[in-house]
A and B are shown apart, each in its own frame.
Chain A
C-alpha cells in the first residue's frame, strides 16, 4: 500500500537498474532532498549550525569510512588523522592563496597518498593487526602535526580558516557554509550508492568476503586494496577540509584526535557496515544522541524533578547513551540501517505479513 508495487513494470534494463526502481522510494528520497535543501528556510541558526551542519559533515566522513570498512572490509582506526591531513593541507594552501576548489582537491590527494602509505600495511595484515597499523597512523600523524611548527603553527596554535570563495560565491555566511557541506554530502552519497554497482565496487566486495578467493577469480587484490584506501582517504581528506572550513572555521590538532577516529568507527558500526543510509543514521545517533539526552535530562534537573549534582547530571546522558548502543546492538546487530530495512520491508507488503527476509 505504501510502496505500491502493482503497475510498476520495467520495460527497459535502464529503468530496472536505476538506483530506486520503486516510485515510493524515489518520492522519499526527493522529499528528504527537498527538506535538506530548504533547511535554511525553516531551521533556526541554532539548529542549522549546531545540529544539521555537523551531522551532514560527519555523515559524509562516515560514508568515506564505511566505503573502506564496510564495502572493502579493511578496518581503519585512524580516520581522524586522514581528515586532519585534509584539513591542515587545505588551510595552508588557501592561506598561500590557492583557490579553495583546488585546495580541496589537493587536500584530498595528499590525504589519499598518506592514507595509501599506511594502507599498504593492509597488503600484509588483516583484522586486528590492521587496526594496530592504522592506529599507528593516527598517533604518528598527530605527533607530526603537533611537533612540526610549520604545520600546526606552534604548540597551542589555532589556525583560522581564511575567507574563501567556492565557485565565485563567498563562503562567509552560515547558509553558504551549509550549502557547501550539503553539496559535498550529496556528491559522496551518490558516489557511494553507485560504487557498489560498478566493477570496482564488486571487486572491493570480493576482497572483503575472502581476499584469496577474490585473487583466484582474477581480482588484483594488491591494486584493489590500495585503491580502497586511496578512494576512502581522498573522500576523508576533502571531508576534513570541509569540516575545518564549514564547521570549525579553524583547526587545532585536538579536533582530529584519537577519540574522533573511534567515534567515526562507532558511527559506521551503529549505522551498519557498508550502508549508505546507515552512515547518516549512525552519524546522527553518535553525534546528536548525547546532546539530545543532555537536553532532556538538564531541564528535569533544573526543574527539581531529579535531585542530582551537576557532575552526575553530566554522566546520566552518557549512561543512557551507552545503554542505547548496547540495546541497539542486541536488538539488531547489523545496525540502524538494518532496522530501517526491516521497517521498509514490512511496509513493502503491508497489510500482508509475507516478507522475503
Chain B
C-alpha cells in the first residue's frame, strides 16, 4: 500500500460530498409566482430514443410559448425534464423525487415505466398522461382515475385503419396480414383485429418478428406466401423502416401498407425516390407547422432564437404530438384553476382533465372530450398518406368501432375483478 492517507481520505470525502450533492439535487428552486410544476420523465437514452428528442422539444417549446403568453391564468408552468432510461426503478425514483418537488402532472412516454408508476399515481392522486401508448384498459376512468391516455389507444388506431379499408375497397373476404413486433405493444391490437375479423368477414393472420425489429426477413417471406390484400405494420423506431423495406421487397404495393402512429418523416425519408409513396399511417395530431399554435411557436419561440433544439424538427410528427400533449395538460390546468382556484392539486387537475370538451388545440388535433368514464377522449384520429415529402391527411377526423374497443375494456375489467376476488 503506497497510497498516502491524505489522498485516500481526500478522495473519500470528495466522493461523499458528490454523493450528498447528488442526493440533495432534487430540492425545489424558489420561484416568484406559484408555478405549476409538470414532470416529463422521458426515455432519452435507451428504447424510445427515436421519438423522445423531438417529442420533448415540442413539449418544451410549447411551454415556452405558454409562459410568454402569460402562463395559465398567470401561473407559469415549470417543466421538470429527466431521463428514466425506460428503467422502472429509475422511473419510480424520479417520480418520487418530482413529487417531492411539487410536480402535479406526469408524463413518461415509456410503457414499462408508466405501468410501474400507475398504481402509485392512483394512490398519490396525481394525474399522469400516457399519450397514445400504455395499457389499453387505462382508458377506463373508473378503474384508473388518474391515468389519461388522452388520445386514441392502439386498439382504436387499428379500428380506424380497418374502417378506412372497409370504406375503400371493403373488408369482406379480404386477406389482411398483421406484421407486428413480438412485444406486449405489438400484440395489443390483436384482440380487436380478431373480433373485427369475425364480424367483418376478413381473414386475419399475424406475423410476429422478434424484438428489437431490425431483422424481419423470416416474417416477410411468410407474408409473401400469404398473399395479403392489405398489410398492417405495428412496430416502432428503426423496425418500422425495416418493415416497409421487407414489404416492398416482397412485392407488396406501398399503397396497401398501413401503419400504427409511430412512423415518422425520418423513417420515410430513408427511402429513395417514390418507392414508398402511398404508405398510410394512423394520425392523432396534425403534422406540419401551419396550425395556429405551431405558427405562434415559430414566430415567438423559434424565430426569437429561443427554440429548444433544431428548428427543422418543428412541425414533424413527434414534435407536434409533444405540443399536443402539453396543450391538453394546459387546458386541463386552466379549467381546474377557473373552476376550483389556486393552488392547483392533483385532484383538481384530474377534475380539470375530465372537463375537457371539444378541445382541438386551435386546430392541431381532433376535438377531444374527456369524461370521468372515458379517459381516451373518443378515440379520434385520421388516416394520412406519405406523398414523398410529407404526410397528407386522406379523410376527416373520425373514430371507429368504439363499441368493440370498449367491450374489450369491459372484458378486461371483468377479468381483473374476478382475479381480485380470488
B8: nearest chain-A partner, CB-CB: A343
Closest to B191 in A: A155
How many whole Å from A240's CB to the nearest CB in chain B?
13
Majority SS at the chain A contact face? helix
Q: Is the beta-carbon distance between B88 and A353 smaller than 8 angstroms? A: no
Most buried by A among B29, B81, B188: B81
- Asked whether A49 and B81 contact (CB < 8 A) given A310-B308, A311-B44, the answer is no
Which residue of chain B has its CB nearest to the CB of A302?
B29
Q: Which of A153, A155, A252, A296 contacts B25 (CB 8 A)?
A: A296
Given contacts A294-B83, A296-B25, A355-B1, contact A252 B96 (CB under 8 A): no
Count of chain B residues near A, Cβ 8 A:
59
Give me the 3 closest cross-chain CB pairs, A-B, nearest first: A295-B25, A314-B83, A292-B22
Q: Is residue A96 contacting chain B, with contact meaning CB distance below 8 A?
A: yes
Q: A252 to B85, Cβ gap below 8 A?
A: no
Instruction: Render B5-29 as a binary contact track against A, CB cut-off 8 A, 1 for contact.
Output: 1001000100000110111111001
Interface 1/0 per residue, B109-124 and A, CB below 8 Å: 0011001101110000
Q: Name 9 A/B residue pairs within 8 A (Cβ), A-sorted.
A: A54-B93, A155-B184, A155-B188, A156-B135, A247-B89, A249-B119, A250-B115, A291-B22, A317-B83
Instruction: Digitize B70-114: 1 where CB-to-A-CB distance is under 8 Å, 0 elsewhere.
Output: 000000000001110101111011101101100000000001100
Residues of A within 8 A of B (CB): 44-47, 49-51, 54, 95-97, 146, 153-158, 160, 162, 247-250, 252-255, 259, 287, 290-296, 298-299, 302, 309-311, 313-315, 317-318, 342-343, 345-346, 350, 353, 355
Residue of A nearest to B110 (CB): A254
How many angstroms from the CA of A126 to the CA of B18 in the assembled complex? 41
Interface of B toward A, CB cutoff 8 Å: 1, 3, 5, 8, 12, 18-19, 21-26, 29, 44-45, 52-53, 56-57, 60, 81-83, 85, 87-90, 92-94, 96-97, 99-100, 111-112, 115-116, 118-120, 134-136, 183-185, 187-188, 190, 308-309, 412, 415, 419-420, 422
Residues in chain B near residue A249, CB distance under 8 A: 119-120
| CB of A139 to closest CB in B, whole Å | 9
How far in angstroms is the closest Cβ of chain A from B58? Answer: 12
Nearest-neighbour CB distance to chain B for A44, whole angstroms, equals: 8
Chain B residue nearest to A260 (CB atoms) is B87
Chain A min CB distance to B169 (Å): 29
CB-CB under 8 A for A254 and B60, given A248-B88, A346-B1: no
With A96-B422, A156-B188, A292-B22 known as contacts, the answer to whether A310 contacts B81 (CB < 8 A) is yes
Bound complex: CA A314 to CA B112 (Å) = 18
Find the B residue at minimum CB distance from A58: B89
| In the bound complex, CA of A25 to CA of B242 (Å) | 59
User: Which B residues are CB-close (under 8 A) to A302?
Assistant: 29
Residues from chain A with Cβ under 8 Å of B85 in the complex: 290, 314, 318
**In-complex Cβ contact of A315 among B45, B88, B120, B308 (8 A):** B45
Point out the residues of chain B lying under 8 angstroms from A296, CB to CB: 18, 21-22, 25
Residue B3 contacts which of A291, A294, A346 (CB distance < 8 angstroms)?
Answer: A346
When distances are taken between beta carbons in the complex, the residues of chain A under 8 Å from B120 are 249
Q: Which residues of A contact B308 (CB under 8 A)?
A: 309-310
B97 touches A154 (CB 8 A): no
Give the CA-CA distance A318 to B120 in the complex, in Å: 27
**Across the interface, which residues of B come within 8 angstroms of A49, CB to CB?**
92, 96
Q: What A residues does B135 contact at CB under 8 A?
A: 156-158
Bound Cα distance A342, B7 (Å)? 13
Most buried by B among A153, A291, A293, A345: A291
